[in-house]
Chains A and B, each alone.
Chain A
Amino acid sequence: MELLVATAIGACTAAGIYLILRLRTFAVVLGMTMLTYAINAFLFVSGRLVVNKPPILHGHGEVHLADYTDPLPQALVLTAIVISFGMTAVVVMMSLGAFIEGGDDRINMPKDDRIMPPLKTIDDTKPEDETA
């Protein structure tokens, strides 16, 4: 079973990395989602694979550690899942915003944007608008 899990995690990782190397935002978002699965699963398996021993206490007597799987990675992964949703949402909105604002969904920085004005002084060129 370990072999199956490891290959699945590996496949998700490879797919995720291949997708984040694409040139359009949507593919990159999907790639990050795939990477999220892989990384969450990786964190989870650091508690080792245990079947049918969920960390929910049965009875309030003495606790036999062998009866339960490791709860700590689960707690970490649980918040990681929710946080990665937050991250995905932000990234999606950013890519959507870039598409609406810029008219295309390319991920690379256009050449024109990279040309910065030559530095003559360190002072900012124009004062902020105070009335805004």
Chain B
Amino acid sequence: MSPALIALLPFIGALLPGLLVRSGRSVAATASGTTTLIALLGLLLHIPAVMRGEEIVARFEWLPLIQLNANFRIDGLGLLFGILILGIGLLIITYARFYLSRQDSVGKFYTYLMLFQGAMMGIVLSDNILLLLVFWELTSLSSFLLIGYWRHLPAGRQGARMALTVTGMGGLAMIAGMLILGQIAGSYDISQILQSKDAIQASPLYLPALILILIGAFTKSAQFPFHFWLPHAMAAPTPVSAYLHSATMVKAGLFLLARLWPVLSGTPEWFWIVATTGLITMLLGAAIALFKDDLKALLAFSTVSHLGLITMLLGFGTEEAAIAAVFHIINHATFKAALFMTAGIIDHETGTRSIARLGGLRKLMPVTFLIGTVAALSMAGIPPLNGFLSKEMMLYEASHLDQARQLFMVVATVAALFSVGYSLRFIFHVFTGPERDDYPHHPHDPGFGMWAGPALLAVLVVLIGLFPNTMAGWLVDASATAVTQHAAHSHIYLWHGVNAALIMSIIAIAGGAALLGGHRPLLAAWDAAPRPEAKSIFDGLLLACVRAGRGLTDRLTNGSMPRALTGFTLAALFAGCYAWYTGAAGKVTRPMLPIEPVPFIGWLLVMTATGCMVFFHRVRLLALVLVAIVGLITSMFFAYFSAPDLALTQISVEVVTVILLLLALNFLPKRTLTETSSSRRGWHAFVATLSGVGFGALCYAIMRRDFAFDPISGYMLQNSYKLGGGDNVVNVILVDFRGYDTFGEITVLGIAALAIFALTQTLLQGNSARRLLNWKHDQARAGDRHPLMLVIATRVLLPISLVVGIFIFLRGHNQPGGGFIAGLVVAIALLMQYMASGYAWAQTRQTIPYHALIGAGVVAAGVTGIGAWFNDKPFLTSAFGYFKLPFLEEIELATAMGFDLGVFLCVVGAVMLALNSLSRIARRAGETVNEKPMDIDLSTEQQKGAL
């Protein structure tokens, strides 16, 4: 299976639970599980090839100009992480099916989870750092959604925000670091970057790049001093914690360190920054974990500690340490995911995660006890479990360092000692001891579905511990080879003879047992000791930022719109003047066109209408009519200066806009009172005149000069027929050359209409709905609201105007017209029916909802564009041909027509939805609904006449 497909599958899987949301937990879980399983199988099929040292590559050009390409690659490291992500993902999906309750919205949960899974797969399989960054940010976002999944819990929301802030900021730093790295290496492809170690390490930008990338990796992997977000993220549902915070997301930082290990490691800077950070984190996390009362908090800090351990190993920069790091990644994922799920089971069955309220669960929950104990002993590093093996390797590497050996040996042993302490505490304070009678629920083992996943992991813990080379050796070798770029061979044995590492291990186990014995007094001392609370510092910083932002806003604006707009206008004016006086304008080269009488009349009309409009703007209806005059002349202006398409568009938009404003004016006051003093009005008039003069002068200056550079439209004129198959160059630009812009534009138009719809929805509820119900119109209603003449005339006009619409649509490619104009014409034709016979009457005869029209339009345009892919052409490349239909002229059928149809539908839908919204408001305000098309009932009138 192609690596790209493996990365894509979880995203496809993310769509399913959302669509199947009504089918219940099992269906959603099965859908997510199946896609995960397929992806996992696809990945596993590549194992033989990876073991042979091959790399499986899939490359797609995405944005080659900025070297952002969708390149995917499976090597040993990607394989290891892929197996972890998909394998543990599968277990988590099963587990979550039983963990979540009926009240939880399961579709959303699985969608987020699969989204996250896809993002993680994207990170580990990307062969392009820009692509990797995209997926990296996506993990931050999807983990935000997952941590805050229980939105009703304040802790969940705060934890999610904190995680997003910290990892998001780290991500920003990392983007900068990655860009520097790519610049030095001359390529953004990871396989290329890995070849340029010398260039990167010799560059003066090596250190800044290193630090920025490390900030990204450390925030993600919760390394000191960014470790504080991880425990707060524990407010997430336990399946999320087990997945994100044991096996996957927090390992993304480690993955990155491992991925870039060949080019970044080996320098003193790398060693000191990375190894020391890892060491501090390992010690700090382990020490705090020992004193946490919440089971998940204990596990969270222990995760911090173990991540520190792996970071330190990667920081050592030796091949053996890298092997140990990779091995510990596997081991930690197995035992920690099992432990999180165990904690979740305990929480689920007893109703509490507080260790102080637990104890004595051994007999009540024997299966959970067995799984938890095996996993916890592995975490403690007790032989013969897998945690012991990699911890031994870590201690061995620490005792064989060339520099600062004593420091690392001592601190690593102390950290291991704490680690034994909290692991034993997990066993002894939760499971052993006397049974209690005050558990919130009566505890018992959960169903098979819930313990199957952790049990499988616990079996792996034992098997890897007993047969490390058979079970995991090959994977460790493959991934360590990918990390170090040299053929790595691991030699993992349970018994190495008596060496420094073994002695350190024994000290740790003995010391850890002693710690557990003296836990009570130690805890009292810990609680009494003053220490900085990360959350309050974080909150304080954030609060300071919010305060500063608020202060700045308050200083900049006082809530007065004219004031803000005056400032804006003056700034624009200043910028324009500055540009004019500092820049160099070309010479006046174009002669003036002679003034013809008809355009001159148009000019007189515009000037008069504008002047009157300003003067009479308080009489709103009059002002609206005057604005409409300006709009009509604008349309004629376009027609006169060789722009027939624009003229048609402008005139139809004008009609629609005026109707819209009239309908709104129905509710608004009909007059504006004078509220500003004359001096203020004078000042505003001054500002307005200045900017008008400036803008007019700019237009004049442009019009009197020829193009400074050859316009690019020469290409479009020359290729309009050859490539786009149309004579109307403007239309070909819209649907073909710049089709992507148009696609965006109709989407925006659709969104605007939907926003109007949503706005109306809220207006029809609550306070404003009550106001509308008691609405008193300030003007008398017309007696004959649906006049006979209008009704009959519009009915006659409807088919004619629809035919005109179709005609304009069909000719658009070669003559003035096209989807935009046709859409507006058809919308006007429909509007006339609504105006003549009333909204409700017309609506019952119109069955397609306008939202659907907008959606269909965007889809039609998109599908037309995608169609080009099947002919190996870029998005929106059009094909065309000419056909002769009976009784009609020769017409052209181009794929662009499908696109134009999308434009058409979207425009009709958007215009109608906007006006529909207004009429809904009118009906709520007591507009009567007529049952007949017009007020006078013709049938009864005729009968009267007959009588």
The answer to whether B718 and A21 touch across the interface, beta carbons within 8 angstroms, is: no
Q: Are B716 and A72 in contact (CB under 8 A)?
A: yes
Q: Can you list 5 A-B pairs, Cβ within 8 angstroms, ordered by A?
A: A8-B606, A74-B730, A79-B742, A86-B910, A100-B771
Across-interface contacts of A72 in B (CB, < 8 A): 711-713, 716, 733
| Interfacial chain B residues near A100, Cβ < 8 Å | 667, 763, 768, 771-772, 921
A117 to chain B, nearest CB (A): 11
A67–B151 Cα distance when bound, in Å, is: 64
Nearest chain B CB to A48's CB is how many angstroms away?
A: 6
The answer to whether A17 and B713 have CB atoms under 8 Å apart is: no
Question: Assuming A9-B696, A42-B695, what are 14 further A-B pairs, CB within 8 angstroms?
Answer: A6-B700, A12-B630, A24-B675, A26-B672, A30-B624, A48-B707, A49-B641, A75-B738, A79-B741, A82-B649, A85-B657, A92-B661, A96-B664, A111-B559
Residue of B with least CB distance to A94: B759
Encode A19-51 as 1/0 by CB contact (under 8 A) with B. 111111111111001100110111011111111
Contacts A63-B718, A101-B768, A107-B561; is A93 near B760 (CB within 8 Å)? yes
1/0 per position for B644-687, CB-CB distance to A under 8 A? 11100110010011001100110111001001100000001101
The yes or no answer to B613 lying at the interface (CB within 8 A) is yes
Name the residue of chain B whose CB is nearest to the CB of A2: B703
B98 adjacent to chain A (CB < 8 Å): no
Interface residues of chain B, those whose CB is within 8 Å of chain A, are 151-154, 157-158, 539, 542-543, 546-547, 550, 554, 558-562, 565-566, 569, 590, 592-596, 599-600, 603, 606-607, 610-611, 613-614, 617, 620, 623-624, 627, 630-631, 634, 637-638, 640-646, 649-650, 653, 656-657, 660-661, 664-665, 667-669, 672, 675-676, 684-685, 687-689, 691-693, 695-700, 702-704, 706-707, 711-714, 716-718, 720-721, 727-730, 733-734, 738, 741-742, 745, 748-749, 752-753, 755-756, 759-760, 762-763, 767-768, 771-772, 814-816, 820, 824, 907, 910-911, 914, 917-918, 921
Q: Indicate with 1 or 0, residue by residue over A48-66, a CB within 8 angstroms of chain B CB atoms.
A: 1111111111101001010
Check B734–A92 contact: CB distance below 8 A. Answer: no
Q: How far apart sit A51 and B728, CA to CA, in the bound complex (Å)?
A: 17
Contact residues in B for A33 (Cβ distance below 8 Å): 627, 631, 657
Complex contact A22–B562 (CB within 8 A): yes
CB pair B667–A127 under 8 Å, yes or no, is no
Residues on the B chain within 8 Å of A51, using CB: 593, 640-642
User: Within 8 Å CB of B592, what residues of A?
Assistant: 1-3
The 8 A-B pairs with the shortest beta carbon distances in the complex, nearest first, are A10-B696, A14-B692, A109-B559, A6-B700, A86-B752, A18-B688, A1-B593, A75-B733
Residue from B607, B697, B816 in contact with A54 in the complex, judged by beta carbons closer than 8 Å: B816
- CB neighbours (8 Å) of B630 from chain A are 12, 34, 37
* Residue of B634, B687, B816 contacting most chain A CB atoms (<10 Å): B634
Residues of A within 8 A of B637 (CB): 5, 8, 41
Q: A54-B642, A57-B729 are in contact. Are A78 and B672 (CB under 8 A)?
A: no
Which residues of chain B are near A26, meaning CB under 8 Å?
Answer: 620, 664-665, 668-669, 672
**Residues A13 and B695 in contact, CB atoms below 8 Å apart:** yes
Q: How many A-B Cβ pairs are below 8 Å? A: 352
Which of A's residues lie within 8 Å of B, judged by CB? 1-30, 33-34, 37-38, 40-42, 44-58, 60, 63, 65, 68-72, 74-75, 77-79, 81-90, 92-97, 99-101, 103, 105, 107-111, 113-114, 116, 119, 121-124, 127-128, 130
* CB atoms of B703 and A53 under 8 A apart: no
Q: Nearest CB to that of A28 among chain B residues?
A: B561
- Interface contact B642-A53, CB-CB below 8 Å: yes
A3 and B700 contact, CB distance less than 8 A: yes
- The answer to whether A123 touches B684 (Cβ under 8 A) is no
A57 and chain B: residue at smallest CB distance: B727
Known A3-B700, A12-B610, A74-B730: A95·B717 in contact at CB below 8 Å: no
Interface centre among A17, A72, A95, A130 (most CB of B within 10 A): A17
By the criterion CB–CB under 8 Å, are B667 and A99 in contact? yes
Is B595 a contact partner of A1 (Cβ separation < 8 A)?
yes
A6 to chain B, nearest CB (A): 4
Residues on B with C-beta less than 8 A from A101 are 763, 767-768, 771
Given A21-B688, A95-B664, check contact A55 B703 (CB 8 Å). Answer: no
Is the beta-carbon distance between B646 and A44 smaller than 8 angstroms? yes
Contact partners of B756 in chain A: CB under 8 A: 89-90, 93
Bound-state Cα–Cα, A72 to B881, Å: 25
Given A26-B668, A30-B624, A96-B664, A65:B559 Cβ within 8 A: no
Contact A1 B702 (CB under 8 A): no
Most chain A CB within a 10 A radius of its CB, from B703, B734, B910: B703
A122 to chain B, nearest CB (A): 5
Q: A27-B672, A101-B767, A109-B559 are in contact. Are A21 and B566 (CB under 8 A)?
A: yes
Determine if B668 and A105 form an interchain contact, defined as CB atoms under 8 angstroms apart: yes
A10-B697, A79-B734, A82-B820 known; A23-B668 Cβ under 8 A:
no
Contact A87 B752 (CB under 8 A): yes
Instruction: Report B-chain residues with C-beta under 8 Å of the C-beta of A52.
Output: 642
- Tell me the minimal C-beta distance from A123 to chain B in angstroms: 6
Flag if A77 contacts B543 (CB, 8 Å). no
Are B543 and A65 interface neighbours, CB within 8 A? no
Q: How far is the CB of A105 from the nearest CB of chain B, in Å?
A: 6
A86: chain B residues within 8 A (beta carbon): 748-749, 752-753, 910
- Who on chain B is nearest to A88 by CB? B657
Q: Which residue from A18, A78, A130 sits with its C-beta under 8 Å from B646?
A: A78
* Closest Cβ–Cβ distance, residue B635 to chain A (whole Å): 10
Contact A15 B613 (CB under 8 A): yes
Contacts of B638 in A (CB 8 A): 44
Q: Does B614 contact A6, Cβ atoms closer than 8 Å?
A: no
The reply to whether B559 and A114 contact each other, CB–CB distance below 8 Å, is: yes
A90 touches B547 (CB 8 A): no
For B642, list chain A residues within 8 Å (CB). 50-55, 69
